[in-house]
A = this chain, B = another copy of it.
Amino acid sequence: MNSKIKVSVVGGSGYTGVELLRLLIGHPNVIIHEITSRNDAGKLVSEIYPSLRGCLPHYFVDPDKADLKKADLVFFATPNGIAMNYVTDLLENGVKVIDLAADFRIQDVAIWEKWYEMKHSAVKELKSAVYGLPELNREAIKQAQLVANPGCYPTAIQLALIPLIKSNLINTETIIADAKSGISGAGKKTETQFLMSEASENFKAYSLKGHRHLPEIEENLKSISSNNKIKLTFVPHLLPMVRGIHATLYVDCIKDFDPSVIFNDFYKDELFVDVMESGSCPETKSVRGSNVCRLSFYKIPETNRLVILSVIDNLVKGAAGQALQNMNIMMGWPESAGLDLIPLYP
């Protein structure tokens, strides 16, 4: 018999937070202890999210009044720059931490501070943080007390590239990632551009001059590349839909190889990566609500160019689902616990 652990969620009122709650409610080994929200403190969680009526009796707690140390594990589903102010105390008290924001995703403090435009307040803890991409770092995650859950774009993009880079099969300095995200990736921010009147029946690129997920991807992929060099052209686009990321990657092969063999071999034991056959086109709807990343690829005839297509649900494998997967690994539970989610179709 498994005993249960107490889990708290800091920042439970955003979309990553509510998705985390959806998944935690269904997790067999978890008791949800506290859910914090600065803005909605004192309100029933199910008042803000009526989808949870009847599933969750909790009230939002003010983060300053929460007793996070009472939890065995704390998820931060907060804006960037929050978790770093809490971790020292939590780690010292033996609490495990999974940060779904960016505070611990980049080891190079200078680069982090440049892109996130603030001072990092937990550099020591950062050094001990493990980048929580299970398909890459499972062993380290098992031992970690602090896990940096990857960004949504980085998850979709890196799962498409890691097998190729690890095997030294592509030119790592000419990679292109043309990525498209559903609007829930922007969170619950009330900006004009995210209004339905603006965003529906519309499509555009954004952050053309640089997106914060770029340095995260580059640093992480560098660590597995043979020559320690990564140059990525990354153009994110905003899709007129809610959930889903589709990354279309263009790489130049430097060897002759069968991508089907490479991908199937690399991911053969992975529960949450589905390698499709060459030339097929994964659709975002086929993973909506689930923790799966579906991949396919196609070698352009008479060239050395390989196209890789990768889809995830940005709120699941790109956020809350991956966070549960990391928790399962950290706790030694079956990796799929609470994650046997079947996509909602249509």
Contact = CB atoms under 8 A, between A and B. Distances in A.
Interface of A: 15, 18-19, 22, 25-26, 49-55, 176, 178, 180, 182-184, 186, 188, 190-192, 194-206, 208-209, 231, 233, 235, 237, 239-244, 246, 248, 250, 274, 276, 279-290, 292, 294, 298, 300, 303, 305, 307, 309, 311, 340, 342-346
Contacts of A239: 203, 239-240
Contact of A51 (B182, B200, B287): B287
Contacts of A287: 51
A50 B231 contact: no
Contacts of A250: 176, 178, 233, 250
B233 A237 contact: no
A39 to B, nearest CB: 11
Q: What's the number of copies of this chain in the assembled complex?
A: 4
B22 A344 contact: yes
B345 A283 contact: no
9 contacts: A22-B342, A51-B342, A52-B342, A53-B274, A54-B274, A208-B307, A233-B307, A242-B346, A243-B346
Contact of A195 (B51, B195, B290): B195
A294 B53 contact: yes
A293 B113 CA distance: 39
B208 A15 contact: no
Contacts of A298: 208-209
B51 A197 contact: no
Most chain B CB within 10 A, of A22, A196, A243, A276, is at A196
Given A51-B342, A197-B346, A202-B284, 19 more contacts: A18-B345, A19-B345, A25-B342, A49-B345, A51-B286, A53-B276, A195-B196, A201-B285, A202-B244, A202-B285, A203-B283, A204-B246, A206-B281, A208-B307, A233-B307, A237-B248, A239-B239, A239-B240, A289-B289
